[in-house]
Chain A
Amino acid sequence: MRYIWAWIFPILALAAAGWLLWSKWSSEGPEIVIAFDSAPGVSAGKTPLLYRGVKAGEVTRVALEPDLSRVRVTVRLAAFATDLARSGSQFWVEQPTISLEGAVGIEALIQGNWIEARTMGGDPAFAFEGLSEQPLRPLEEPVLNFSLVASDAPFLEHGTPVVHRGVRVGFVESKTLADENRVRLSIAIDKGHSEAVRTTSRFWIVPAADLKLSARGADISIPGLQALLNGAVAFDQFTGHGDPAAGGREFPLFPTHTAARATGEPVSITFPTAHGIDAGHTLVNVLGQTAGLVESVDVTSGRAEVAIRLFPEFDGLATAGAQFTLIRAAISLDGVSGLETLLGGPFIDLRPGPGEPTRAFVGRMSDDPVPDGVITITLRTLDAGGLVAGSPIFHRGLWVGTIKEQSLAADGSAQFTAEIDRAYAGVVRANSRFWRIAPLAAMVGPGTLDLRLRGLRTLINGAVAFETFGEPGTEAGADSVFEVFASEALAAATSTPLRISFRNGQGLVAGLSELRYLGLPVGIVTAVTPRSDGEVEVSARLRPGYGFLRTSGSQFAVVRPQISLQGVSSLETMLSGIYIECVPGSGGDFRDSFRGRETGAPEALAQDRFRIFLTSPMTRVTPGAPVLFRDFQIGAVLSKELSKDGATQRLEVGIEPRYRSFIRTNSVFLDASGTVAKIGPFRIELPKESIVDPAGRIALQNPEKAGEPVREGHEFELRPKR
């Protein structure tokens, strides 16, 4: 065997093959079986098992369980990965995911899916349950797990971040139903943030997008692109720092940040109505700053029991003197109040006050104007004239009270309970007079036309005003009863009634027609009664201070609008209605009964007219007819009556004082009325005068040689013309 060395080759070949086989065998670890609910893209001989990105094994077999319920994937581990076969290991199928957070596992798009593993150690094991989805932190196990319990947890899903002051410290792991009406979220706090959750932490849901409407405008905040879909869970502590919470602790999950902050003791407020109060949304404000939140509303007792919680820093404000007012938007005719609530919704305004801490309050509504208490009075009227509960009560234009309740009194009159702000209680006197405010007041006098609209609210709701005329009486206490007059004039007219008799009462309306002096209202007609003797008796009352109008010489005349070819007079009465013009007399004694004049022209009533009388057996001239001198009016016929013996007609003529010197003893007065109309067979002739002066006209002629001036009351004969 000289050439035995030639047999080195097969030995080398054997050694090489053996080495290859041995290396292959030695690189193989144990075989494990993983059961997956589904194993997409996993196939034997191809799919690797990666651990921290390193190939640690290979799928050798894929099979279904006998009952087809699961997939059994057999994996041959690499020798160096033998320690993956531990009971604490987790396996999942990694597949490409594209989410808002980024694309995960893009490599898998090309390389195919793989099985990923992580291990927490444990005893050797060879059968595993595969995870159904990729864990959020594949490489590290969360340190702390907590439960959050909420009644509702919309859009919070597996993977929703848990945020503490803007830092993402963990994830929502799962969302399950805790019991019938609660949802339990399991969250995992990452290693390194384990101290963030304190025993005092309060968790709330950060909505995907937060739209805040305020007076400053709309404020849309989106916490982040990822949160746009899933929202987030945030937590913070509001009551002290607390201790680090131990894992597994259960926290309530609040729907909003505000709800999470409201950690104070519950406070119960009773409101007449819960309209506009939204549990969980309606805020409690102190001086415009959010201080708490309505937790629940209970209306089962017939009143709204509103439970609120204040922020811890405001918790001390719930004292006996505090007042809770429900502020709602009110767009009424006298303005817009609570405008901010249009955007932010109604809120409860907390006005702090002194006193001991209390937990039960009686709330007020925002349309109660009275913060300091009220006195209650009763108003009665036969005609409510549109007054309703809520009608304001004014005093000299100030809103001092409100009508609260309406009812019918036993005698059939309308009865109102009114509340007067206690601050103004002093101005309500025993002799105060209340009246309904006419929404539209027209003041028409000579030269004035004053239309006044007293607020739209008054137009809709009506309103009541009061005033104390004359000497203020004693203060009216609570529960006083007042009558409501129909108008201010009626209310103001407190004097004893005047009785004036007129021949013609047309146009005079009780309660409306005014007594005026020099164009100013001084009283009001309270009654118009026809008498059996053919005259109309007008009862009127003068306002305090106008007593001089009832002296014995006072004159009263009804002023009606007159439209003639000469002109238009007293046009204002078209708007203001007919009124009674008063002219004070010079007499010293006071009277209650007067005889009214019939003349229409108020200027004819001027007291300083120089009066003369004309007698005529028959004349067409009527009161109002002008007295002309050289075609220039110097006076007018004031009244016309039959003489006492009935033989003549007697005209009272008032001459303007500056023209009185024209009246002489030998002056001649001619009836210049002329014919009314001449009706011939072919034509109707209408003299000019009869058109211009339908009342007739009187011409004054003086002889060349003037006579003596006459005294007032001189009587002339009215001669027919020509």
Chain B
Amino acid sequence: MTDHLRLELARSLVVTGFVLYIPANVFPVMTMTVTGDVEPLTVLGGVKELYDSGLAPIAAVVFVASILIPLLKLASLAWILLLDGTDRWARQRTVLLRVLHQIGTWSMIDIFLLAVLAAVGQLGALASVRAEPGAIFFAAVLLSTLFAAEFYRPKYIWRTV
């Protein structure tokens, strides 16, 4: 795999991430049915639900982890890729890329939790959790950012220098 291909794939995947980010947040990611109360939740709806339930800290955590961080990752990657081939803020880009690699380890935690919930939270008619198409888009966003960050190597930042 040539460096050129990797760069091209990273670009493509960032764009893909942006594209997928929209349905991931528009479509509900899960449906919670608690005592007959059917509740399809989007990610943002889930945050709102948590906040309305008086769980503001958790709502903040979820908001940061599930909305802000993917968005920031996409934005960061886009920024890195846009400045590819220039020498501006090369140092900062390198640090950012490293950070992205680090947090990328945890990025699928939402999907993991949803999978566990959907598997465990099956209490018949009383309560159930079902993953919705939005979750797939959400996972796809994360995967896109993961692979984009993986394809883009730090050495490319310093390539032209």
List A residues at the B interface (Cβ < 8 Å): 2-3, 6-10, 12-14, 16-17, 20-21, 24, 45-46, 48, 109-112
Contact = CB atoms under 8 A, between A and B. Distances in A.
Contacts of B140: 13, 16
A20 B23 contact: yes
A258 B16 CA distance: 85
Lowest 3 A-B CB distances belong to which pairs?
A111-B36, A3-B8, A17-B23
Contacts of B36: 109-112
Contacts of B23: 16-17, 20-21
A3 B5 contact: yes
A9 B37 contact: no
B15 A10 contact: yes
Contacts of B39: 46
Nearest to B23: A17
A17 B137 contact: yes
Interface residues on B, range: 20 to 34
A148 to B, nearest CB: 41
Contacts of A20: 23, 27, 133, 137
A241 B49 CA distance: 68
A435 B36 CA distance: 96
Interface in B139-161: 140, 144
A6 B5 CA distance: 8
Interface in B100-136: 125-126, 133
Contacts of A14: 19
A50 to B, nearest CB: 13
Interface of B: 4-5, 8-9, 11-13, 15-16, 19-20, 22-23, 27, 35-40, 125-126, 133, 137, 140, 144
A10 B19 contact: yes
A2 B7 CA distance: 12
A58 to B, nearest CB: 10
Nearest to A48: B38
Q: Which of A9, A17, A21, A109 has the most CB of B within 10 A?
A: A9
B24 to A, nearest CB: 9
A46 B37 contact: yes
A601 to B, nearest CB: 115
Contacts of A12: 16
Contacts of A17: 19-20, 22-23, 137
A3 B38 contact: no
Given A2-B4, A3-B4, A21-B23, A110 B35 contact: yes
Nearest to B11: A6
A9 B126 contact: no
Contacts of B38: 46, 48, 111-112
Given A10-B16, A21-B23, A112-B37, A16 B137 contact: yes
Contacts, number: 63
B35 A9 contact: no
Given A13-B140, A20-B23, A20-B133, A110 B13 contact: no
B127 to A, nearest CB: 10
A16 to B, nearest CB: 7
14 contacts: A2-B5, A3-B4, A7-B8, A7-B12, A7-B15, A9-B12, A9-B16, A10-B16, A13-B19, A13-B20, A13-B140, A17-B19, A111-B38, A112-B37
Nearest to B15: A10
A16 B125 CA distance: 32
A111 B39 CA distance: 11
A110 B126 contact: yes
A30 B14 CA distance: 38
A3 B5 CA distance: 6
A48 B22 CA distance: 27
Contacts of A109: 36
Nearest to B14: A10
A2 B2 CA distance: 11
B150 to A, nearest CB: 14
A48 B40 CA distance: 13
Contacts of A48: 38
A12 B19 CA distance: 10
A10 B137 contact: no
B16 A6 contact: no
Nearest to A45: B40
Nearest to B133: A20
B87 to A, nearest CB: 24
Given A45-B40, A110-B126, A111-B36, 4 more contacts: A2-B5, A17-B22, A46-B39, A111-B38
Nearest to B35: A110
A111 B33 CA distance: 9
Nearest to B141: A13
A133 B7 CA distance: 66
Nearest to A18: B23
B8 A13 contact: no
A587 to B, nearest CB: 126
Nearest to A46: B38
A39 B32 CA distance: 24
B12 A6 contact: yes
Contacts of B20: 13, 16-17
Contacts of A2: 4-5
B72 to A, nearest CB: 19
Contacts of B8: 3, 6-7
A21 B22 CA distance: 11
Q: Which of B12, B13, B37 has the most CB of A within 10 A?
A: B12
A9 B137 contact: no
Nearest to A1: B8
A111 B126 CA distance: 9
Contacts of A7: 8, 12, 15
A597 B78 CA distance: 164
Contacts of A111: 36, 38, 125
A10 B133 contact: no
A715 B11 CA distance: 183
A2 B133 CA distance: 34
Contacts of A8: 12
Given A2-B4, A110-B126, A10 B37 contact: no
A21 B134 CA distance: 11
Nearest to A112: B36
A137 B13 CA distance: 58
Contacts of B5: 2-3, 6
B65 to A, nearest CB: 22
A3 B3 CA distance: 11
Contacts of A21: 23
Nearest to A8: B12
B125 A110 contact: yes
A2 B126 CA distance: 56
Contacts of B12: 6-10
Nearest to A12: B16
A111 B35 CA distance: 7
A9 B27 contact: no
Contacts of A24: 27
Contacts of B9: 3, 6, 9
Nearest to B124: A110
